[in-house]
A and B are shown apart, each in its own frame.
Chain A
Amino acid sequence: MAPPKNRRLGFSRRAHFGLFIGYVIAVGGALIAVLLLIVSIADPRGFSALRGAALDVTAPIGSAGRSVVGFFSGIGDGISNYFRAGSQNAELRGELEAARRELIRRQALEHENRRLLATLGLARATGDEVTVARIVGSTHDSPRRLATLSAGSAAGVAPGQPVRSADGLIGRVLETGRWASRVMLVTDGASNVPVRLVRDGTPALAVGRGDGTIELRTLEVGQNPFRRGDVLVTSGVGGLFPPNIPVALVTASEGDTAIARPIADPARMDFAIVQRIFQPAAAGPLELAPPQPPAPPVPGPPAAAATPHPGQQNNPRYQPALQQPQPGMIGRPGAAGPPR
């Protein structure tokens, strides 16, 4: 098809001017878009109010249709299960035996753990669950792996909180609307989860690869500690994710790294649990740490308790009262403490 005649504007000065203005608007708009993009990249939470409102509007429609998708994606599983029933049965029997042994070992460990915690006088923090919500959709046409969750700030969800299912870690909250929020899955390329190997406690970093798998980077140089079938759980390092949530299952090991798949598959689960940030101080920027109250004026030394050396009195950093513990000492060890 030839381009239509009316795009050739002839000699009309007005038509040419209109076309020119159109291009000026388009190019100017593209430049504005570049600026917006730079702002978005520099401050990913920048337009959170606008984006949260859009999230609220679009999420409920998704939640209505999700059950249909679950039905359709379940059909394929049902058929393949039917054909593999025999081998699957033997496989499951073996797995059950292994699981039973593991369960007994776990019960013993759990008992020991409880006893040790009691000995130490520690109580495990309970009630770390913010809310339970449905996963109603995800990006499917972009390299990011972000899912939409049907609970927002009205339910107490806040950016940074870990999201898990009964199986394992799903990701963490990226931005929230009032009734919906967006979750960065562990398979997203920007997701870094500190993990450790269940078998021997080797620390590693689980980095998403964007295609539904996770790359495991060990923090040690040398041999590759990962074997096929290894399970990794969160280590609690970094303070964002609580420890001991299952994250990934190693499927292949290559070179210094290993490829794993997430244990919690968000495409198959209906409900996700939003948890509190493991150590809230870890989520905030460093400057926002609560300022320590200024130390009360340090009382002078008891008259005869400590007579400073004459040379020390000339030293402006010398504070005689700090030689014994005072209430004001706890506040600022770096600024007022003895020089190290």
Chain B
Amino acid sequence: MSRIAGSSAEIAIGELRRRWVPSLSTGAAVLLGAIMPLVATAPLLPNLGFLMLITWRLVRPEIWPAQVALGFGLAADIVSGAPLGQSMLLWTLVFLGFDSLDSWLGVRDYWLDWGAAAAAILFHGLGVWYIALLMGSDTLLWIMVPQLVLSILAYPVAARLVLALDRWRLAR
């Protein structure tokens, strides 16, 4: 690819890519989590949409204000069969928490990012479990442990994927 845009069409395409790659990749992850043709006997896989969302948020803090989590959460609730409002609430709270963490610490590195992601994943897992409990699903908390551990370990993978997407997004 030449480094200088040859035409206004190329510039427009580049602009679209810069603008929409984060949203589209997160939306694809949400949809993939909902339609994966897999029958699981216990919660095991990470919530792909949530993982992708917080990874984009941690890698690129400036692209999204807190309220985009509302829209993604609504979409995720509708397609995944979770009670309506669950992801809207939890994801927005996580984003607000990230914002306050940013203004409180002022500085972050990779390990702090991972720690923030781990805290968000734990909070999200607990919230999902508690809402299921309110819905009448009387389960023990420890059935969530394998999934939470796997999700926390999946953050570096998601971060590399997002960084690769980000490089492609901003390439010229």
Contacts and interface: CB of A to CB of B under 8 A. Distances in A.
Given A2-B108, A4-B62, A37 B46 contact: no
Nearest to B66: A26
A1 interface: yes
A211 B81 contact: no
B79 interface: yes
A96 interface: no
A225 interface: no
Interface stretch (A50-58, A239-247, A303-311): A50-58
Given A3-B102, A26-B66, A62 B139 contact: no
Contacts, number: 198
Contact of B67 (A25, A63, A142, A188): A25
Given A34-B89, A210-B42, A188 B137 contact: yes
A37 B86 contact: yes
B33 interface: yes
Contacts of A188: 137
Interface stretch (A38-46, A193-201, A230-238): A38-46
Nearest to B106: A3
Contacts of B70: 25-26, 29-30, 33
B122 to A, nearest CB: 14
Contacts of A36: 84-85, 88
Interface string B78-121: 11111111101100110110010010001111100100000000
B128 A143 contact: yes
Interface string A1-30: 111101100000000000100110111011
B29 to A, nearest CB: 11
Interface stretch (A65-73, A111-119, A123-131, A320-328): A65-73
Given A3-B106, A51-B78, A37 B131 contact: yes
A145 B43 CA distance: 8
B42 to A, nearest CB: 4
Given A140-B43, A143-B139, A37 B83 contact: yes
Interface residues of A, number: 70
A212 to B, nearest CB: 3
Contacts of A61: 35, 37
Residue of A7, A26, A40, A140 contacting most chain B CB atoms (<10 Å): A140
B85 A210 contact: no
A35 B88 CA distance: 11
A216 interface: no
A141 interface: yes
B22 interface: no
Contacts of A265: 41
Interface in B118-172: 128-129, 131-140, 143-144, 147
A267 B144 contact: no
A123 to B, nearest CB: 37
Interface string A170-211: 000000000000100001111000000000000000011111
Contacts of B95: 26
B135 A210 contact: no
Nearest to B112: A1
A207 B83 contact: no
A41 B88 CA distance: 15
Nearest to A184: B137
B63 to A, nearest CB: 10
B107 A2 contact: yes
A137 B128 contact: no
A58 B31 contact: yes
B123 to A, nearest CB: 14
Nearest to A57: B79
A139 B80 contact: yes
A63 B38 CA distance: 10
Contact of B47 (A135, A136, A137, A141): A141
A264 B2 CA distance: 59
Interface of B: 31, 33-48, 61-62, 65-67, 69-70, 73, 78-86, 88-89, 92-93, 95-96, 99, 102, 106-110, 113, 128-129, 131-140, 143-144, 147
Given A22-B67, A41-B134, A189-B132, 14 more contacts: A26-B66, A26-B70, A30-B88, A33-B70, A51-B78, A54-B78, A54-B79, A140-B45, A141-B43, A141-B147, A143-B129, A143-B144, A146-B81, A189-B133
8 contacts: A1-B108, A1-B109, A2-B107, A23-B66, A26-B96, A33-B86, A37-B84, A58-B31
